[in-house]
Structures are given as structure tokens and as C-alpha cells.
Amino acid sequence: MGGYLAHLRVERGLSANTLAAYERDLGRYTSFLASRGLDRPESVTEVDVAAFLEAIRTGADGGRPLSASSASRTVTAVRGWHRFLLAEGRTSTDPSAAVRPPQVGRRLPKALSVEQVQALLEAASTDESATGLRDRALLELLYATGARISEAVGLVIDDLDRDSGCLRLFGKGRKERIVPVGRLAWDALDAYLVQGRPELAARGRGVPEVFLNTLGRPLSRQSAWGVLRQAAARAGLEEDLHVSPHTLRHSFATHLLAGGADVRVVQEMLGHASVTTTQIYTKVTVDHLREVYATSHPRAFG
């Protein structure tokens, strides 16, 4: 198993959190196989893999029963491991090839309205202090680019290109993409970089990250979450909206598509490997069109 995890870390560039999840999943799998007297991968059959899937859904192996989404991730880890063993010549068959992960009901992404986003951004800072300028720039950038929170806090000064109006983001697996930034977000960034960041940077050791905390160190994901939660509270957004950094990412995609953007362009800006992932947002747009039609067309109910 260690060789497979090393492969994922080096060749696939998976994050530490994802690797830890895979290690837990495969640990549960190998324990299940051991309980069936199977200590060699080549002895595993399709029946064993299917039995494991049933066990993790019901908790029959003594572990916590998993939801369809968690079980799907676990089966994906198991199938990846068996494919790796086959490719490495350590087994002659892949017993997991015919075992399909449970179907996960795809939930529509949650998006704010344009008016709610406007209220959120206006509430991002209450003053022109260094942290106030930082908070406004951070939230403006998240909505302007659809960046993941990890991508935003990982930005360094060299990733910003004011002349082209774009910035460079590094997504999952350190995959690089270039994303345009709107004027209002650039204005907020400029204000922070000129008036706010130097003050914060003077308290630290000159790190290259764009967003800094009050000690001059890189802003953490947790602190960035806190910035958003405080802004949502000041904006009076309902608690049941559960506004998160991903909410701004969803809103970015939904608003672009509603405005007529091509789904493949949105795919590129979001950094999705497959357009299928991005197409979930088109469902939101269709629902909006249906609502407008139902409330506006004189014969919609005729």
C-alpha cells in the first residue's frame, strides 16, 4: 500500500488531506481482507471486493457505515490500488474492475444571488485598516475568479499580472491555470497591496504570499474562512445559507453561465478536469430560466 500512496503523492500530486483519506480507506480494506484470511492481493476476488462494498455501507465489518458519497470514494481508492498492482506486475488480474461505486445523487451547487454577493462584498471590511483592505481584496478575488480557498491563500506576488489583467492559480495536483480578474477585484487588490500589505509584511519575515495575517505570515485557510463568516454575518445573510468559500465559487460559475458564458470557458476558469463536472451548473441556469418563464410569460400556466 505504501508504494501506491507514494505514487499518488509524487506522480499525481495529491494533497496531504486526500492522501490521508486514501490511507484510511485502504487500511479499512486491508483489515477487511485480513478478516477473510486474505493477506496477498493476488488472492482477492471480485466477490471479496463486492463484499467489502456491502460491509462499508452497512458497517458489517465493525466500522462506521458510510454514505454513498464516502463509500464511492473508498471504492475508488480500492480500484486505484488494484490497478496500480496490476500495472506494476504484482498481480495478474484486477478483481475490482467490475465493481462499481454506489451512485451518488448529485446535489445542485448552492449559489448566492448577485444582490447577496454585492451585500457580502460591501460588508467584507468596515474600515481602511490593513486587515480591512485585505479582507475586501480576498473576497473580491474569490468571487472574481472562482478560486478555491486553498488557491487564493496560496497566491504569491509573482502570480499577479496587472498588465494582462490575469493571475495564475495552482489547482489540484498543482495544475496551473490563468484566470482573468475584473476591474473591481483589481482595484481592491491594488488598494491592499499598496496600503495594507506593506504594513502586515513589516511584522513578518518577507514571505511572498499575497494574503498575510497580522503577524506578517501567510493567511491560513481557517483564517480566510473566518473572514468570510464575519462578512456574511455583517451582511445579514441568513445562517441557513451556510456561506462558505465554495459558495462564492459556485456563485461565480452560476452567474457566468446565466450571463451567457460558454460552459467550456467556465470549465477552464474553474480548473475542472472534465466538462461534465462543470455542467452541473447549467442545471441551475435552466431552473432560473424556467422560473423566469413561469412568472413572466402570459400563457405559461395556460
Contact 33, 44 (CB under 8 A): yes
Rounded distance between C-alpha atoms, residue 133 and residue 218, angstroms: 16
Contact 98, 114 (CB under 8 A): no
Rounded distance between C-alpha atoms, residue 284 and residue 271, angstroms: 19
Contact 74, 28 (CB under 8 A): yes
Rounded distance between C-alpha atoms, residue 132 and residue 214, angstroms: 11
250 Cβ neighbours under 8 A, 6+ residues apart: 109, 110, 111, 281
Classify residue 216 as left (phi > 0), alpha (psi -120 to 50) or beta.
left
Q: Could you identify the residue written with the cell 491563500? A: 153
Q: What are the residue numbers of the active site?
A: 148, 172, 246, 249, 272, 281
The DSSP code for 90 is S
Q: Which of 267, 134, 136 is nearest to 212 (CA)?
A: 134
CB atoms within 10 A of CB 175: 11
Rounded distance between C-alpha atoms, residue 210 and residue 226, angstroms: 17
Rounded distance between C-alpha atoms, residue 68 and residue 66, angstroms: 7
Q: Could you identify the residue written with the cell 460588508? A: 123
8 Cβ neighbours under 8 A, 6+ residues apart: 14, 18, 19, 22, 80
